[in-house]
């Protein structure tokens, strides 16, 4: 795992002057090794099966993180079937000649050509890359069944976007660990895994995105271990103790410092009580595809 520690961005430090960010970014094998190194006495590791954690122990969830779980794929297939007939294009920026623009086209000006300026314009393309960053943390009161539903919708989105444009996928959590520095820390830990998308391992991604134990057993424990917190894993907090809004508003600025291919990113924040991907996943999927997969071809032409 690549570990980086930075001061929080100015927009965060304005309200939380001492806040910092610790990033751990790695591939699935490195992340699995990080999980395996978690102290066996940590609560998230020694806890028994319970419904809150998807009825999986730490060891069971880690095994499925490595090998996948195809049982969760059909739920994603069901969402996908409803989107497969939707023709979509993706978009990228291109410099085009124009009578007005942000910079001059010197040869055209010298030749007296009327299109003597350069202007950036969105065009239909299958080449526009996108980094999808998914936070699988969640409010404590959200059930494992609802997280599974949300994960299936997110997996369907990743599959559709991968078919229309180059996609990189990062999955993990951004959390502030309590029980540190007199319990008044505003520091945030970001543990993310770069997942393969070409090809996309459906069985593994269905587990990582949809199983409550992925975050509640594996990533939470790794975050606490990273910060050398006491073994009692209670008092896990939203990033910077600021509720879920701060990181949602500034996710690209925060995470692009550690995720190098996030020139354009789609951030799917931690699940909260009013999460649209849980309340109305089909509408959420439609909205996401319109915004990030391209408008229908008839509208984009």
Measured CA to CA, the distance from residue 105 to residue 148 in angstroms comes to: 53
Segment 190-209 shows an average pLDDT of 94
At 195, give phi and psi (nearest 5°): -100, 145
- DSSP code for 239: G
The mean of the pLDDT values for the chain is 85
Strand (E) positions, 205-252?
236-237
Rounded (10°) CA dihedral 282, 133, 222, 64: 50
Q: Where are the beta strands (DSSP E) in 105-231?
A: 117-125, 130-135, 167-177, 188-195
Q: Check: pTM over 0.85? Answer yes or no.
A: no
62, burial (CB in 10 Å: exposed 0-12, middle 13-18, buried 19+): buried
* Structural Rg of the chain based on CA atoms: 21
Among positive and negative, which fits the CA dihedral 32, 213, 275, 237? negative
Q: Which secondary-structure segment (H or E) carries 34? A: helix 28-36
Distance CA 159, CA 167 (A): 9
Cα–Cα–Cα angle for 179, 184, 187, rounded to 5 degrees: 85
pLDDT for residue 296: 43
Give the residue from 297, 192, 198, 217 showing the smallest Cα distance to 56. Answer: 217
How high is the pLDDT of residue 297? Answer: 39
The dihedral region occupied by 153, where left means phi > 0, alpha psi between -120 and 50, and beta the remainder, is alpha
Tokens of 56: 């999986």
Written as six digits, the tokens of 86 are: 């939707």
Top pLDDT among 290 and 183 is at 290
* Averaged pLDDT, 245-254: 93
pLDDT tens-digit map of 97-142: 777 777 887 776 777 777 778 877 655 455 567 899 999 999 989 9
Three-state DSSP at 125 gives strand
Q: Give the per-residue pLDDT at 166.
A: 86
pLDDT digits (tens, 9 = 90+) for 53-86: 999 999 999 999 999 999 889 999 999 887 766 5
pLDDT at residue 295 tops 80: no
Give per-residue burial for 172-211: e unless 16+ CB within 10 Å, then b: bbbbbbbbbeeeebbbbbbbbbbbebeeeebebbbbbbbb
User: Is residue 30 over pLDDT 70?
Assistant: yes
Q: Is 129 exposed, middle or buried (0-12, 13-18, 19+ CB in 10 A)?
A: middle
């Amino acid at each position: 795992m690549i570990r980086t520690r930075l001061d929080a961005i100015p927009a965060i430090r304005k309200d939380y002057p001492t806040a910092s960010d610790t990033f751990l970014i790695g591939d699935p094998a490195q992340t699995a090794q990080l999980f395996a190194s978690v102290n066996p006495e940590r609560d998230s590791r020694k806890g028994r099966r319970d419904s809150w954690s998807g009825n999986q122990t730490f060891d069971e969830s880690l095994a499925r993180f490595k090998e996948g779980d195809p049982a969760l794929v059909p739920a994603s297939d069901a969402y996908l079937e409803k989107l497969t007939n939707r023709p979509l294009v993706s978009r990228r920026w291109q410099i085009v000649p124009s009578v007005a623009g942000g910079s001059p086209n010197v040869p055209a000006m010298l030749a007296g050509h009327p299109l003597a300026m350069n202007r950036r314009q969105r065009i239909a393309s299958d080449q526009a890359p996108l980094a999808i960053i998914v936070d699988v943390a969640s409010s404590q009161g959200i059930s494992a069944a609802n997280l599974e539903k949300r994960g299936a919708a997110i997996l369907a989105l990743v599959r559709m976007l991968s078919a229309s444009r180059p996609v990189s996928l990062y999955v993990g959590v951004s959390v502030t660990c309590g029980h540190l520095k007199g319990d008044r820390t505003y520091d945030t830990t970001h543990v993310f895994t770069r997942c393969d998308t070409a090809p996309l391992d459906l069985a593994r991604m269905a587990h990582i995105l949809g199983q409550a134990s992925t975050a509640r057993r594996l990533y939470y424990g790794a975050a606490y271990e990273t910060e050398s917190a006491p073994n009692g894993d209670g008092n896990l907090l939203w990033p910077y103790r600021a509720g879920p809004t701060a990181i949602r508003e500034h996710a690209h600025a925060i995470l692009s410092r550690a995720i190098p291919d996030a020139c354009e990113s789609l951030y799917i924040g931690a699940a909260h009580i009013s999460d649209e991907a849980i309340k109305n996943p089909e509408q959420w999927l439609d909205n996401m595809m319109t915004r990030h997969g391209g408008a229908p071809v008839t509208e984009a032409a």
